[in-house]
Amino acid sequence: MRADQILHPTEAGLYCPPGDFFIDPIRPVRRALITHGHGDHARSGHGAVLATRQTLEIMAIRYGADFATEVQQADGSIRVADTTVSFHPAGHILGSAQIAVTPRKGPKIVVSGDYCRRVNPVCAPYEPVACDVFVTEATFGLPVFRHPDPAAEMTRLLDSMTEFPDRPHLIGAYALGKAQRLIVLAREAGIEGPIAIHGALQRLCDYHVGQGVDLGPLIPATVEDVPARLVIAPPSAFASPWVQRFRDPVIGFASGWMQVRARARQRGVELPLIVSDHVDWPQLTATIRELAPSEVWITHGAEDGLMRWCQIEGIPARPLRLVGYEDEPE
């Protein structure tokens, strides 16, 4: 059985005929395997969902307890029709996983979902999984993307807070994963007092605390006079009247995309913090070299740059174009 007979793109997403399931489908399907809880990968309305326990719990928080007709927790190797599937840590966000698909006959395929090789204090580290075909994201799949040490970015945040002690620092961060990671990084950098969070972050922050992630003292950022110099909010909040309660704030945003100055300017960001939960170019290419797959399939990002690199390296590769996916929550 050829690899493209085991997995191939459809209008609903990446489909596995021998297993009769989809991976991260973009529309409701009968059976879905979900890599992680971000909205461009995890949607509600499926018949049956197979995912890690934490991803299932996160989906219930975001979409309600009835987000699927039936749910199953991924635990060890699981037989699904004529395939065996297993879930392995991706290092991206809490509960994130790569999905290994092994048919009875044919190549083993690993769908990485989104993954990060740098240590992420809020989730299990990435686990390399040997495979014949590696399906990789390419969110930052260009040589220009080389993300700095997050600790250095936290030093920049602290320096700004020292330089502007009377200005509250409002930092945009996606509600799932990035916000919690940013809070932990701030604690590790020495911020001990209360950190204020927008109400949209509360339930997911509470869930992380319940999973053993120490976020320190958090207070709501919805009162008139917020007694905290550091405020974390989802990007959508910066386009709402909520921002107006803060006098002369320093507006920041934590994302790997902050390396692109034009994106920072477009968002009116004064303090861009390059903190990414995805692999950058060196980590991406090092991962492919480490796994040494027979073939690489590329999706979610700058396909052409990584295609060219694989060609130079003598690695068979092809783009796996999936419609309906927006920019990764980063």
175/113 Cα distance (integer angstroms): 19
> Would you say residue 327 lies in a domain?
no
> Would you say residue 42 lies in a domain?
yes
Domain match, 137 and 15 both: yes
- The number of folded domains in the chain is 2
Q: Is 4 helix (H, G, I), strand (E, B) or coil?
A: helix
Structure tokens at 319: 């783009």
Query: Which of these three, 273, 290, 307, is where a domain ends?
Result: 273
Q: Given pLDDT bands bounded at 50, 70 and 90, which one contains residue 258?
A: very high
* 235-251 confidence digits (pLDDT tens): 999 989 999 889 999 99
* 185-210 confidence digits (pLDDT tens): 999 999 989 999 999 999 999 999 99
For the CA atoms of the chain, what is the radius of gyration?
A: 20
Residue 283's CATH number: 3.60.15.10
Of 148, 110, 135, 128, the closest CA to residue 287 belongs to: 128
* 271-288 confidence digits (pLDDT tens): 999 999 999 999 999 999
Task: Determine which of 123-127, 252-256, 265-269 has the lowest per-residue pLDDT on average.
Answer: 265-269
Q: Does residue 324 register a pLDDT over 70?
A: no
Domain match, 303 and 229 both: no
Domain match, 235 and 297 both: no
Domain match, 118 and 233 both: no
Q: Is 103 helix (H, G, I), strand (E, B) or coil?
A: strand
CA dihedral 112, 118, 119, 122 (to 10 degrees): -60
257/276 Cα distance (integer angstroms): 8
pLDDT of residue 322: 66
Q: Does residue 30 register a pLDDT over 60?
A: yes
pTM of the model: 0.94
pLDDT of residue 248: 93
Domain match, 122 and 242 both: no
pLDDT of residue 44: 97
> Would you say residue 189 lies in a domain?
yes
Please, which residues have CB within 8 angstroms of residue 106's CB and are 6 or more apart in sequence? 1, 2, 3, 5, 6
Tell me the residue range of the domain where 222 lies: 150-273
